[in-house]
Amino acid sequence: MNLDNTDLQLLALIQSDDSISIEVMASHVGLSKTPCWRRVQKLESAGYIKRRVALLDAEKFGLGVSVFVQVKTNQHDANWSEDFARTVSAFPEVVEFYRMAGEYDYLLRVLVKDIPAYDRFYKRLISATALTDVTSNFAMEQIKWTTQLPLPTLSKE
Amino acid sequence: MNLDNTDLQLLALIQSDDSISIEVMASHVGLSKTPCWRRVQKLESAGYIKRRVALLDAEKFGLGVSVFVQVKTNQHDANWSEDFARTVSAFPEVVEFYRMAGEYDYLLRVLVKDIPAYDRFYKRLISATALTDVTSNFAMEQIKWTTQLPLPTLSKE
DNA sequence: TTTGAAAAGTGCCAGTT
DNA sequence: AACTGGCACTTTTCAAA
């Protein structure tokens, strides 16, 4: 499937605000309701749109602290990796989890209320995974956080 | 405003899937349409729900590489920090941006197509900010990524 | 492919328990 | 507080251009 400028406009629109009606979307991209609706359906069934969610305000729940956890390991066989991935992913506090190139093997972003809450998480993590080499870096401030992908800019025609 | 179990259930529901109708939500939490709708309205106007968005599939756009960029600086006055925050935030490739405690001053997550694309971004970043101490760490695999906050578990009553 | 309008489904409000 | 019923509006389908 090939996307044209109108598709990209629609995607840019709904990844920034999905609460607008089809009618409003249609007028933004210069279409009428039906063809606009059909494009969105198509983008959804083709998998460009993965899901529609509400983003909650972390501050309201006291979840003000992001901790970046760097993990080094000497275990590298496939079974261990799978177990590790599953175990770590199961923690709801782990909101991001990457396998890295370079010095550290894994990077986690952990979202907690405060330092004591992180300490409790940390202990549970260590005991669940038997990790030894773990470095924690605390974020003081979240300057930017977005779910919006950097989409290709519109081509002229 | 105080949240009860029903509110937390509703929030957990819509932060995982916002495409369901009020009616379906209502049946999930054991309410009928109107009170359910009223609760959601209230949660929205109280700011617990920040926005509703569509999450797009990064792979479909070839955005397969996350790069974590650690930045050290010796500039620390307020003006410089504000300028820096504004300049860096303006890059659409920068999807996350934190001010850190500890060894590094800032951490960025940059979302790009491949290594050459990162190199192009890197050059633009350097020339826009006059940074000197920059370390880039590449993610090989995104094992987990979620927008779902770890909400407090439901209390008994 | 688009348009316009009908059918189906939701969101929203009033009155009531 | 919550439920029932109903109107208005939006989404979805479909026939015709």
Distance CA A88, CA A157 (A): 48
Mark whether B96 and B133 lie in a shared domain. yes
- Distance C2 C1' – A29 CA (angstroms): 15
Question: Which residue out of A42, A96, A124 would a mutagenesis test of the B interface target, given it has the greatest number of B Cβ atoms within 10 Å?
Answer: A96
Mark whether A99 and A33 lie in a shared domain. no
Mark whether A63 and A131 lie in a shared domain. yes
Taking only the tens place, the pLDDT of each residue in A55-107 is 999 999 999 999 999 999 988 899 999 999 999 999 999 999 999 999 999 99
- Distance D17 C1' – A154 CA (angstroms): 32
Q: Which residues pair with A154 in a beta bridge?
A: none
Amino acid B74: pLDDT:
85
Q: Which residues of B touch A57 (CB under 8 A)?
A: 47-50
Contact flag, residue A34 CB and nucleic strand C, below 7 A: yes
Domain annotation covers residue A153: no
Mark whether A79 and A21 lie in a shared domain. no
Mark whether B105 and B37 lie in a shared domain. no
Mark whether B29 and B76 lie in a shared domain. no
Mean pLDDT, consecutive 10-residue stretches, chain B (157 aa), reads: 92 97 95 95 96 97 97 90 97 98 96 97 95 95 98 73
Instruction: Read off the tokens for A72.
Output: 């080094």
A 87-106 residues inside an 8 A Cβ radius of B = 88-89, 92-104, 106
Domain annotation covers residue B143: no
Amino acid A157: pLDDT:
46
Amino acid A156: pLDDT:
54
Mark whether B27 and B92 lie in a shared domain. no
Mark whether B86 and B127 lie in a shared domain. yes
Instruction: Determine the structural domain holding residue B122 and report its residue range.
Output: 58-138
Domain annotation covers residue A25: yes
Amino acid A76: pLDDT:
80
Domain annotation covers residue A107: yes
Taking only the tens place, the pLDDT of each residue in B107-152 is 999 999 999 999 999 999 999 998 989 999 999 999 999 999 999 9
Helix (H, G, I), strand (E, B) or coil at B115: helix
Mark whether B68 and B41 lie in a shared domain. no
Mark whether A73 and A132 lie in a shared domain. yes
* pLDDT at residue A109 is higher than 60: yes
Q: Which residues of B touch A68 (CB under 8 A)?
A: 98, 100, 107
Residue pair A43/A13 in contact (Cβ under 8 Å)? The answer is: no
* Nearest-nucleotide field for B24 (CA, C1'): C10
Domain annotation covers residue A51: no
Taking only the tens place, the pLDDT of each residue in A117-130 is 999 999 999 999 98
Q: What is the mean pLDDT of residues A40-66?
A: 96
Mark whether A32 and A77 lie in a shared domain. no
Contact flag, residue B21 CB and nucleic strand C, below 7 A: yes
Domain annotation covers residue A114: yes
Min Cα–Cα distance to chain A from B150, Å: 5
CATH number at A40 reads 1.10.10.10
Amino acid B156: pLDDT:
54
Q: How many domains does chain A have?
A: 2
Taking only the tens place, the pLDDT of each residue in A4-28 is 999 999 999 999 999 999 999 999 9
Min Cα–Cα distance to chain B from A116, Å: 16
CATH number at B113 reads 3.30.70.920
Domain annotation covers residue B66: yes
The distance from CA B100 to its chain's CA centroid, rounded to whole angstroms, is 16
Mark whether A63 and A41 lie in a shared domain. no
Domain annotation covers residue B93: yes
Query: A55: exposed, middle or buried (C-beta count within 10 Å: 0-12, 13-18, 19+)?
Result: buried
